[in-house]
Amino acid sequence: MIRLGKPDRVTVRVNAALHRGRAGLMLALQAGLAAGLAWFLAHDVFGRQMPFFAPIAAVITLGSSVGQRLRRTSELVIGVAAGIGLGDGIILLIGAGPMQIGLIVLLAVLLATAVGGGSPLIVQSASSAVLVATLTSTTGQPWTRFFDALVGGGIALAVMTVLLPINPLTVVRRAANPALRAFTDGLHEAARGLADADPVVVQASLDRLRAAEGTFAAFRTAIDAAEENVAFAPARWRARGALAQYVDGAAQLTYSLRNVRVMIRRSLTALQDNEPIPEVLPVAMRHLGDAVELLRLEWDHGDEPAGARAQALVAAAESGVAYQAGVGYSGGVVVAQIRTSVGDLLRATGIEHAEATRQVREAIGWTERSHGSRRRQGRTRPAAPGSGSMPS
């Protein structure tokens, strides 16, 4: 009898490798097409005998410049020119050899760094200098190598914008999903730990969200690449509307993530100090996690994020109930951070700051009148720190 169990480790690794391969397929196709076209144009059309800089420039431009390809192409060409100039100059003055190669690379890196160049400029400047120093008898005149780099960079830009542009929504969604899932999981785990008064679980949720910084950085990089792709690729202009949701919301989600991390640290302190934790407080956290998950799903389907807004306001309302039930010093900060995080989440869905603030206050039950009344009551009963004064 055969039992069906969990996939073995080899199967999991193979599936992960296949997933990564599918994710990188478009970039591989772009790089292969660009390298072949760059060689064809330089060799067969312009008559260059050995235009090896052309495919090199095309591949580097596509492979190491996501989101900044125009700038990186410029750096690439400048790097080639600087490396070629230094290589030819030093070889002309003191000849070729191991010491000369070391000196050429040293000067090329120093020059690229001094002008504020990024990694492509530094690497290309140094590698070009090495190629000139070691292949000086077969590489021809300096201007031809510069021309090869220009051809390769231009072909790479043509491939990414006209011939084979990447779908920007696919790139952004692929990056957004793990970031938002980690955000949701961290909030749900924190809610569970707070409900069970388990500081170990709460600390684990905080660690999870700290680790999520990497996925959010990848999300922001994907947005940069998508914006560039939409701006310069006519075939992808129709994706601008759906992409705008991610572009406009990414910064606010980052703010919300930071506020949630503060909230979880304060939850941990509240448990360690044995403060009273109303049952509804972890419920509010869980609703906030549900709102992030709804936002992910609605963005993924290209829908208006009405469900995420409604769920976020439920989280705000529950935090208000928790405040009224009675919280300690750290608990008051937790309530305030839920309120602020809900405001950030609403703004991520496209609501203006003032309107988001109004909706959060209304959900909590703090209208302008009751808000002022609460300040007057503060003379007899101090409010929890940050509970009514922090901006949403």
pLDDT score for 102: 84
Q: What is the rounded CA–CA span in Å between residue 305 and residue 296?
A: 9
Last-in-domain residue among 130, 163, 196: 163
Residues 155 and 242 in one domain: no
| Residue 347 domain-assigned (yes or no) | yes
CA 348 to chain centre: 15
Sign of the Cα torsion 246, 249, 255, 259 reads negative
Tens of pLDDT, residue by residue over 73-130, are: 666 667 666 666 677 677 777 777 788 788 878 887 887 777 666 666 677 677 777 7
pLDDT score for 157: 79
| Residue 391 domain-assigned (yes or no) | no
Tokens at 104, concatenated: 């050429």
User: Going by C-beta distance under 8 Å and a sequence separation of 6 or more, which residues neighbour residue 50?
Assistant: 138, 139, 140
Residues 95 and 204 in one domain: no
pLDDT score for 374: 42
pLDDT score for 171: 77
pLDDT score for 123: 73
Q: What is the rounded CA–CA span in Å between residue 119 and residue 75?
A: 9
pLDDT score for 389: 37
| Residue 389 domain-assigned (yes or no) | no
Q: What is the rounded CA–CA span in Å between residue 81 and residue 53?
A: 11
Q: Do the Cβ atoms of 205 and 189 come closer than 8 Å? A: yes
**What's the CATH number where 296 sits?**
1.20.58
Residues 181 and 54 in one domain: no
Ramachandran region of residue 367, left (φ > 0), alpha (ψ -120 to 50) or beta?
beta
Residues 137 and 274 in one domain: no
Residues 198 and 237 in one domain: yes
| Residue 385 domain-assigned (yes or no) | no
Q: What is the rounded CA–CA span in Å between residue 214 and residue 346?
A: 23
| Residue 386 domain-assigned (yes or no) | no
Angle at 354 between CA 348 and CA 360, to 5 degrees: 70
Nearest residue to 57 via CA among 40, 41, 80: 80
Residues 140 and 214 in one domain: no
Residues 272 and 227 in one domain: yes
| Residue 388 domain-assigned (yes or no) | no
Residues 178 and 155 in one domain: no
pLDDT score for 60: 75
Last-in-domain residue among 121, 147, 163: 163
Residues 181 and 310 in one domain: yes
Q: What is the rounded CA–CA span in Å between residue 309 and residue 325?
A: 25
Q: What is the rounded CA–CA span in Å between residue 387 and residue 236?
A: 45
pLDDT score for 146: 72
Domain count, the chain: 2
**Residue 193: domain span:** 168-377
Residues 96 and 193 in one domain: no
Q: Which residues of the chain have pLDDT under 50?
A: 1-4, 6, 65, 138-139, 235, 368-392
| Residue 27 domain-assigned (yes or no) | yes
Last-in-domain residue among 163, 178, 198: 163
3-state secondary structure 318-340: HHHHHHHHCCCHHHHHHHHHHHH
Q: Do the Cβ atoms of 222 and 174 come closer than 8 Å? A: yes
pLDDT score for 104: 77
| Residue 96 domain-assigned (yes or no) | yes
Tens of pLDDT, residue by residue over 47-78, are: 888 888 788 878 877 765 455 556 666 666 67
Residues 23 and 93 in one domain: yes
Residues 130 and 255 in one domain: no
CB atoms within 10 A of CB 310: 12
Place of tokens 């990024």: 118
